[in-house]
Amino acid sequence: MMDGNETDVLIIGAGPAGTLAGTLLNREGFRVEIVEKQQFPRFIIGESMLPSSMALLEEAGLLDTVESQGFMRKFGAVFLRGKETCNFDFANQSGPGWKYTYQVTRADFDKALADKVQAAGVPIHYGQAVTAVDFADDEARVTIETPEHKQVVAKTKFVLDCSGYGRVLPRLLDLEQPSTFPPRDALFTHVSGDHRPADREEGKIWVCIHPGGAWIWIIPFSNGRTSIGVVGDPEFFRAFPAEPEAQLRAIIESDPNAAPRLTGMKVVFPPVRINGFACSVKRVYGPRFALVGNATEFLDPIFSSGVALALESSRRAVQLLSRQLRGQTVDWQKDYAEFVRQGMDTFRAYVSAWYNEDLQHIFFAPQRDPAIMSQICSVLAGYVWDKSNPYVTQASRALSLLANIARTQVRS
Ligand code: FAD
């Protein structure tokens, strides 16, 4: 990035939120540039997508790029607890949503999107980190550290913060707020030697409920490797005192569903641990900025909602920003903050119901109403803004009532 560089929009971060925003703003004719701290390809967690993202990628002209990568098709999600199974197939959604999506190695997925947006004419400044922002009435001045450790200042009309876990503006503008969820830890890696189910079942994500209270994800890739990870309270991990790889193996070996599938697994890289990933913010926009994707709020990985929410919030932010840059009045509170919140709140209800075990009662109930399970399937496919679905609009209440019915079934 050159000192004094001027743009209409400066995007921080070239993850899915950033590259989607770059593509859409460029298509609208704005001068947009992306500043990305790392060099691509780079590892990042967040590998299981939701079908709702497919339409957004298609609309932005990015779906062909994703399809051409040969990623593993994901047709659903399977929840396993001991001998019980609940198999959601995206073909069984109540709404007209996409019936499949992908399991993606994010290093490849993010690079493919970044290359596409760059080829369309959006400069991506790799290896450059935003370190400060100064908002004035008529512009924002963004300080960027170059790979040579020089500080340059770029001028822009608007900053879109798509920095994910970097949380650049939340930190710089003191917008950080603790999550309402207690801190949980995740321990994950990629492995080879996964004994997968065949055909349509191969690409589904497995979520195994460990007898000790944590859960394990199994996400198969088309390159023969599989992402595995454990999410649980810090006390859960303390019950398996060992170095990360030995700890991960001990947890897998003590789960009745993960153990047989992963017998003989070989770890591809030393397991990574993330502590306390849930985070939130006081507000998601200001006069010359908006927070997008994970820079807003991150709830929990259980329903693989991160990339879907990143893409939805990115598209919505761009719609409003385009109008604002053309001189129209925009209601960021109603049309952005409340919109993002609604999708988040739907997933929040499901995450809460997962950890208070309402969802386990529903998923493993002896009798499950297929019509209701289809409505829940649509939510798990990412359609969390669909007001025709009572399991969206009344999520907390509907799940709690349904769980109570399921509990009675178990008792009788
Ligand atoms: P990111 O993908 O985080 O991209 C942000 C980019 O900004 C990065 O490339 C970063 O280098 C760059 N950046 C950061 N700081 C700066 C700076 N100062 N200057 C310039 N650039 C900067 N989501 C799913 O959809 N499916 C899953 O299965 C899933 N599993 C998960 C498992 C775990 C354990 C966790 C913690 C999360 C998981 N997620 C999952 C969430 C997912 O990782 C994120 O929601 C998703 O990556 C958010 O995309 P984004 O574009 O907002 O940000």
How many angstroms separate the alpha carbon of residue 21 from the centre of ligand 1?
Answer: 15
CATH number for the domain spanning 253: value is: 3.30.9.100
Check whether residue 296 and residue 148 sit in a common domain: yes
328 lies in the same domain as 189: no
What domain range includes position 378? 352-411
322/406 Cα distance (integer angstroms):
48
143, part of any domain: yes
Instruction: Please state the φ and ψ torsions of residue 19, each to the nearest 5 degrees.
Output: -75, -35
Residue 387 Cα distances to 55, 225, 369, 392, 402, angstroms: 18, 38, 20, 7, 19
Q: What is the 3-state secondary structure (H, E, C) of 267-333?
A: ECCCCEEEECCCEEECCCEECCEEECHHHCCECCCCCCCHHHHHHHHHHHHHHHHHHHHCCCCCCHH
Residue 82: CA count within 13 A, CB half-sphere: 6
Domain boundary among the residues 314, 342, 370 is at 342
Q: Which residues line ligand 1 (CB under 6 A)?
A: 12-18, 35-38, 44-49, 129-130, 162-166, 168, 186, 229, 274, 277, 293-294, 301, 304, 306-308, 310
Q: Which helix (H) or strand (E) holds 251?
A: helix 244-253
CA 129 / ligand 1 centre spacing (Å) = 15
Q: End of a domain among 275, 300, 318?
A: 275
Within-domain flag for 1? no
Whether residue 123 is contained in a domain is answered as yes
Which class for 216: exposed (0-12), middle (13-18), buried (19 or more C-beta within 10 A)?
buried
Is 333 a member of any domain? yes
Name the stretches of the chain with pLDDT < 50. none
290 and 265 assigned to the same domain: no
Ligand 1 atom nearest to CA at 131: 18
User: Of 281, 216, 44, 12, nearest to 133 (Cα)?
Assistant: 12
Strands 101-103 and 72-74: antiparallel
Q: Whose CA is nearest to atom 17 of ligand 1?
A: 129
Structure tokens at 172: 């710089």
**Which atom of ligand 1 is closest in space to residue 309's alpha carbon?**
45
Q: What's the angle, vertex CA 251, arms to CA 250 and CA 254, rounded to 5?
A: 85
Joined together, the tokens standing for residue 296 give 């807003």
Domain containing 60 — which CATH number? 3.50.50.60
Q: Note whether 196 and 321 are same-domain residues.
A: no
Q: What is the pLDDT of residue 412?
A: 56
Domain identity same for 124 and 37: yes
365 and 265 part of one domain: no
DSSP state for residue 39 in the 8-state scheme? P
Q: What pTM, to 2 d.p., does this model score?
A: 0.98
Contacts of 184 (CB under 8 A, 6+ apart): 231, 232, 233, 234, 276, 277, 278, 300
Residue with CA at minimum distance from ligand 1 atom 31? 46
Distance CA(90)–CA(88), nearest Å, equals: 6
> Do 133 and 19 reside in the same domain of the chain?
yes
The tally of CA atoms less than 13 A away on the side-chain side of residue 364 is: 15
Judge residue 135's burial from the number of C-beta atoms within 10 Å of its C-beta, 0-12 exposed, 13-18 middle, 19 or more buried: middle
Measure 301 CA to ligand 1 centroid, in angstroms. Answer: 11
| Number of compact structural domains in the chain | 3
Domain final position from 342, 367, 384: 342
In 193-277, DSSP assigns E strands to: 205-209, 215-220, 226-232, 266-267, 272-275
Which residue from 45, 66, 105 has its CB within 8 A of the most atoms of ligand 1, so it is best to mutate?
45
- Are 128 and 267 in the same domain? no
In a domain, 83, yes or no: no
Hey, whose CA ends up nearest to atom 42 of ligand 1? Answer: 46
Spell out the residues 6+ positions from residue 322 whose beta carbon is closer than 8 angstroms to its own: 24, 25, 28, 30
Residue 245 inside a domain? The answer is: yes
Atom of ligand 1 nearest to the CA of 298: 45
- Whether residue 333 sits in one domain with residue 369: no
Is residue 240 one of the residues assigned to a domain? yes
42 and 132 assigned to the same domain: yes
Is residue 292 located within the same domain as residue 365? no
On whether both 200 and 270 belong to a single domain, the answer is: yes
Helix-then-strand count for the chain, H and E: 15, 20
- Is 361 domain-assigned? yes
